[in-house]
Amino acid sequence: MKYEDMKVAELKDLAHRRGIDPVPKLKADIIAALTASDEEDGVVEAEVIEPQGKQLAVVSKAGTINANFDELEAWVDRTLSFYEGWEPSADNPEEVEQCAQHRKNLNGLAKEIDDKRKSVKRNYDAPLIEFESKCNAIRDRIKKVSERLQTVEKEARQAIDDAKYQELEEHYEAYVGMLADAVPYERVHEKKWLNLTCKVWKAKNELEEKADKIVSGWEALKNMNLEYFEEAELRYFETLDLNDAITYAAEKDRERKRVEEMKREMDQYRQPAPAEPVQPVNDLPQTPEIAEAQPVETPPQRASFMKPDPAKPRIMIIDAATTEQCKQIGKVCGSLGVTGRFVSGTLEEVYWSEQERKRNVG
């Protein structure tokens, strides 16, 4: 029986028989005294776990380490008391040298205690390390065989899953027909259908419901008469989400309307400016060659049956040109009997500038 399981009276009686005098009053102190007595007498309290051959039987005792800590503490107190009243100065070379010497001695004492601690720890841990090593080695042999058997189980389970998956896939393809080309089975498969708790008939029912939902969504999409049905249909078979396909088609329609609106604005922008000549809006000089150019020859006479084409103000839009290029264009116009002047800016800028000029003049 363990000491911890005994009553105080039993412990005291055992202590008297062991010759422990005086017997401590507290249970913990009595147990400590009995444990120390066991070590002195070579008595080992064994903890046996099912000593059958198929199980691990362990004989162990709680480790006890005794040391003269009280004497060591007293000696350290006396040693360190020397330094309590000593305040060496960093400006005093002799005291700095003494600091180095004393520090070396103190570090040596600390190292001696630490080395002893490490030595005891190694000795204390050695039995545990050896015990764990042997336990792990035997355990690993057992687990290795267990893992080999588990591999066989996994292969068998995978074969069952593959057969079930194939059965569901064939059922799906037979149920939806050509739709399987657009939506193959792997797109609708759910992992839970392969669980052992999920029966095949239940998985097939859920699969049919899922297929019916896809078909009904497709039919609903076709009945909406969407402007961008083909795009929406492709989107639907990509996502299998009816709302997403409808939203996608609506966005395409909004994009088309934005483009059409932009075209209308551009066409309006390209409308001819008022017939009245506009004034320059910047410092681009008027081309004198154009203003002074005279016709060099009389244009050929139109046939009598042709309707006369009267001269009227016209505008030529040039994307970009330098002043020199404008002069050359003016010479060509003058040679044809066309007079006029260049105004810098886009058609819209010239138009609004002329409107502003008219308001100022008015």
Q: Is it the case that residue 92 has pLDDT exceeding 70? A: yes
**Stronger pLDDT, 65 or 188, i.e. the higher one:** 188
Contact predicate 279/344, CB 8 Å: no
Reported pTM: 0.45
Q: Measured between alpha carbons, how far is residue 331 from residues 213, 278, 290, 292, 339 in Å?
A: 76, 21, 6, 10, 10
The mean pLDDT value for 322-329 works out to 81
The closest alpha carbon to 358, from 291, 285, 281, 283, belongs to 281
Give the pLDDT of residue 76: 92
Give the pLDDT of residue 271: 59
Instruction: Give the whole-number percent of the chain exceeding pLDDT 70.
Output: 82
Q: In sequence order, which ranges of the chain are alpha helices (DSSP H)?
A: 8-18, 27-41, 69-84, 93-176, 179-182, 200-222, 229-239, 242-269, 288-292, 323-335, 347-361
Give the pLDDT of residue 194: 95
The closest alpha carbon to 343, from 361, 362, 316, 324, belongs to 316
Look at the chain and count its residues.
362
Q: What single-letter DSSP state applies at residue 191? A: G
Q: Is it the case that residue 103 has pLDDT exceeding 80? A: yes
Q: Is it the case that residue 303 has pLDDT exceeding 60? A: no
pLDDT-based confidence at 62, cuts 50/70/90?
low
Query: Model confidence over 160-176: pLDDT tens digits?
Result: 999 999 999 999 999 99
Q: Which of 78-87, 114-123, 336-345 has the lowest mean pLDDT?
A: 336-345
Q: Is it the case that residue 191 has pLDDT exceeding 60? A: yes
Q: Is it the case that residue 304 has pLDDT exceeding 70? A: no
pLDDT-based confidence at 210, cuts 50/70/90?
very high
Give the pLDDT of residue 213: 93
Give the pLDDT of residue 167: 95
Return the domain boundaries, the chain.
1-45, 279-297+316-362
The mean pLDDT value for 231-254 works out to 91
> For residues 21 and 100, what is the distance between their CA atoms, to the nearest angstrom?
51
The closest alpha carbon to 6, from 31, 24, 40, belongs to 31
Q: Measured between alpha carbons, how far is residue 173 from residues 19, 191, 205, 218, 236 in Å?
A: 91, 18, 14, 17, 19
As a whole number, the mean pLDDT across the chain is: 80
The mean pLDDT value for 175-190 works out to 92
The closest alpha carbon to 333, from 266, 300, 288, belongs to 288
Give the pLDDT of residue 296: 47
Give the pLDDT of residue 41: 55
Give the pLDDT of residue 141: 93
Q: Mention every residue, 6+ apart, whose C-beta is less than 8 A from residue 214.
A: 176, 179, 183, 188, 240
pLDDT-based confidence at 290, cuts 50/70/90?
very low
The mean pLDDT value for 97-121 works out to 92
pLDDT-based confidence at 198, cuts 50/70/90?
very high
> For residues 133 and 125, what is the distance between their CA atoms, to the nearest angstrom?
12
On the question of a cis peptide bond just before residue 274, with omega within 30 degrees of 0, the verdict is no
Q: Is it the case that residue 357 has pLDDT exceeding 90? A: no
Q: Is it the case that residue 203 has pLDDT exceeding 80? A: yes
Q: Is it the case that residue 294 has pLDDT exceeding 50? A: no
Give the pLDDT of residue 48: 43
Q: Which of 40-49, 78-87, 183-192 has the largest mean confidence?
A: 183-192
